[in-house]
Amino acid sequence: MRRIAALVILVAAALAAMAPAAFAVSAAPASPGSPGSPGSPALFAHAALASTQPADGTVVATAPRQVTASFDEPVGITADSLVVYSPDGQRADDGQATLVSSYEIAVGLLPGLGDGTYTAVWHVISADTHPVTGAFTFSVGAPSATHVGALSSSSGDALVSDLFGAVRWVEYLCFALLAGGVAFLIVCWPQGGAVRGVGRLVTLSALGLLLSTLLGLLLQGPYSAGTGLSQLLSGTLVRTTLHGRLGPASEARELMSLLAVAAASFLLPRLPDAGPGFRRAAAVGWAVLTTAIAASWAVSDHASTGVQAPWGIPADIVHLDAVAVWIGGLAVLAGFALRSPGTPAVMRAVPRFSAIALGCVTVIVASGVYQAWREVGTWGALFETGYGRLIQVKIAGLLVLIDLGYLARRHIRRGRFPGEAWEQSMRRLRRSVAAELAVAAVILACTAVLVNTATGRDTYAPAVSASQAFETGGPGGTGTVHVFATPAKLGPNSIQVYLTTAGGRAFVPAQITAALYFPARNLGPLPVTLIRTAPGQYRTDSAAVTFTGQWTLQIVVRSDAFDETSVTFPLAIH
């Protein structure tokens, strides 16, 4: 065990020594990922574009000196995080995107720009370390056709994204085996510290956590920039990652992992002969150490942003700890304890861990429900977004695990005494625990995918649909206004207005007007031009919304030359 632990430390030291050298391998600047069509929403919605200057879709008389983009949370950038293309597809910016503040980026424009429609492409790293990409347009003098060949529907390198998710899965799995495996030995089966192979499992788990964390740190650069594996050792990208939130978190995880393997190397040989006091102290110290490792994920992923972030971080830490104790304990139980003879130590360990596993399941369910509410928010987002469907897969897997856990507890009750009944029950229990481990591995894989997926709250943007009665005060001046707005996102929106009488027939007004207001910034009225499509039916496809947040749509209905009224509708823009 000590020789393997020494090997882990030597490998980690060598990797740490290699990391600074990687900075000089390549100094190629990061290029932005390929966004979708101009004006399209972000490909990842972890950080949302809040506003732009010039505003999306507007026409300005003269070319501005710079273009800015503001977001709803702090972002990280590279030199090419904001690029502006001229109507003929040439670069129109000076190539030096800068942070005006933690929420706003800007890039200067070249002098002497002509008239036409310009396309601004932005690519930033959101607060939870994930890339966010999008584009918007503005026109100088008058709109024109654009020929921006650099834009495509690609959202980045698929291989890098898949590999990044796989590395996250390995990180979680190795953490669970390391943290939960040693916890099982300390609390349930201290005699297992002397069993052949247990120390190897613990040390290999620590080595896997160290290597996967380092690889994840290197992959973050190409993943965020939307580039390929050729940029894995890019000095520019590595420095950007180290200066972001993921860099310090990964470095802390590497350090805590080294401390963990050193602590395990010290504890395992001493556990078989340790007294209760030593084991209690070991349990407290190990809990602190593994909680610190879990915190390195919580402070840099979804838990650190969004609704109730100060509560999301501890909830995520508790969730990860409970998962680790459960899975790591199951691994040692199935791989070693249940394969040993039915000694009194093993017979005490099995029911003791059964009670602990039940507590872990309770914690996992409670913290998981809270995290799901934070990151999904509504039933619609649960059933209509990719993130929500992944949550459903996790729920289904957890239900299977609970069922298998119930079967395991039945096997334990049947084999409480040594003899043939014990042997038969433990064989069945071993198969049940192996099935639990397989399902748990699938759930961990699902979790790794969730970490790289925009949350349900961010991506769910249902169409606004509302109705209100109106009365102008004149003869025949009563009816209902029906409003439908899509996609209710930043940029151009389609608004449809239908007017009906009390009997459901079309209401034809003498005049109808519409305007948008944004109370948070005292904007409005911003006129909305409605085009008549049928009697009592009106539509616009160019209602440009320049800020995320709560807007108000006001509809003014005039029934004759003297009588009119207005109705308002809330319009939440994502």
- Predicted confidence band of residue 405 (pLDDT cuts 50, 70, 90): confident
- Predicted confidence band of residue 109 (pLDDT cuts 50, 70, 90): very high
Could you report the per-residue pLDDT of 61-76, keeping only the tens digit for each? Answer: 999 999 999 887 788 8
> What pLDDT does 558 receive?
92
Average pLDDT (139-153) is: 71
Q: Looking at the predicted structure, is the pLDDT value of residue 565 above 50?
A: yes
Least confident interval from 1-10, 93-102, 195-204, 527-536: 1-10
Task: Evaluate whether 308 touches 374 at the Cβ level (below 8 Å).
Answer: yes
- For residue 370, give every residue at least 6 positions away whose Cβ sits within 8 Å of its Cβ, in sequence order, or none: 311, 315
> What pLDDT does 152 receive?
42
Could you report the per-residue pLDDT of 300-357, keeping only the tens digit for each? Answer: 887 777 778 788 899 999 999 999 999 999 899 888 888 776 678 887 888 898 889 8
Q: Looking at the predicted structure, is the pLDDT value of residue 270 above 70?
A: yes
| Residue 263, both tokens | 């602590």
Task: Evaluate whether 154 touches 33 at the Cβ level (below 8 Å).
Answer: yes
The most confident of the ranges 1-5, 32-36, 108-112 is 108-112
| % of the chain at pLDDT higher than 90 | 36
Question: Which has the higher per-residue pLDDT, 247 or 40?
Answer: 247
> What pLDDT does 421 receive?
60
Q: Looking at the predicted structure, is the pLDDT value of residue 27 above 70?
A: no
Average pLDDT (504-511) is: 90
Could you report the per-residue pLDDT of 43-65, keeping only the tens digit for each? Answer: 334 677 778 889 877 889 999 99
- Tell how many helices (H) and how many strands (E) occur in the chain: 12, 17
- Predicted confidence band of residue 422 (pLDDT cuts 50, 70, 90): low
> What pLDDT does 289 receive?
95
Mean pLDDT score across all residues of the chain: 82
Helix H, strand E, coil C: the string for 299-339 is CCCHHHCCCCHHHHHHHHHHHHHHHHHHHHHHHHHHHCHHH
Q: Looking at the predicted structure, is the pLDDT value of residue 491 above 90?
A: no
Q: Looking at the predicted structure, is the pLDDT value of residue 29 above 60?
A: no
- For residue 139, give every residue at least 6 positions away whose Cβ sits within 8 Å of its Cβ, in sequence order, or none: 58, 59, 60, 115, 116, 117, 118
Task: Evaluate whether 337 touches 349 at the Cβ level (below 8 Å).
Answer: yes
Least confident interval from 118-127, 241-250, 334-343, 501-510: 334-343
Handedness of CA 39, 42, 45, 49 (dihedral sign): negative
> What pLDDT does 253 receive?
93
- Predicted confidence band of residue 134 (pLDDT cuts 50, 70, 90): confident
> What pLDDT does 132 receive?
78
Amino acid in the structure at residue 327: I
Task: Evaluate whether 115 touches 142 at the Cβ level (below 8 Å).
Answer: yes
Q: CA 49, CA 69: separation in Å to the nearest integer?
A: 7
**Pairing relation of β-strands 537-545 and 531-534?**
antiparallel
> What pLDDT does 412 receive?
67
Average pLDDT (87-116) is: 90
Average pLDDT (136-153) is: 73
Q: Looking at the predicted structure, is the pLDDT value of residue 146 above 70?
A: yes
Partnered with residue 569 across adjacent β-strands are: 553
Q: Looking at the predicted structure, is the pLDDT value of residue 378 above 60?
A: yes
Could you report the per-residue pLDDT of 431-487, keeping only the tens digit for each? Answer: 888 888 888 888 888 888 887 787 877 777 677 788 889 999 888 889 999 999 888
What is the greatest pairwise CA distance in the chain?
Answer: 98
Q: Looking at the predicted structure, is the pLDDT value of residue 149 above 70?
A: no
- Predicted confidence band of residue 285 (pLDDT cuts 50, 70, 90): very high
> What pLDDT does 35 receive?
34
> What pLDDT does 265 receive?
92
> What pLDDT does 11 receive?
37
> What pLDDT does 204 receive?
94
Task: Evaluate whether 404 touches 434 at the Cβ level (below 8 Å).
Answer: no
Q: CA 127, CA 77: separation in Å to the nearest integer?
A: 11
| % of the chain at pLDDT higher than 70 | 87
> What pLDDT does 417 receive?
47
Could you report the per-residue pLDDT of 208-266, keeping only the tens digit for each? Answer: 999 999 999 999 888 877 788 888 888 888 888 888 778 888 899 999 999 999 999 99
Question: Which has the higher per-residue pLDDT, 42 or 91?
Answer: 91
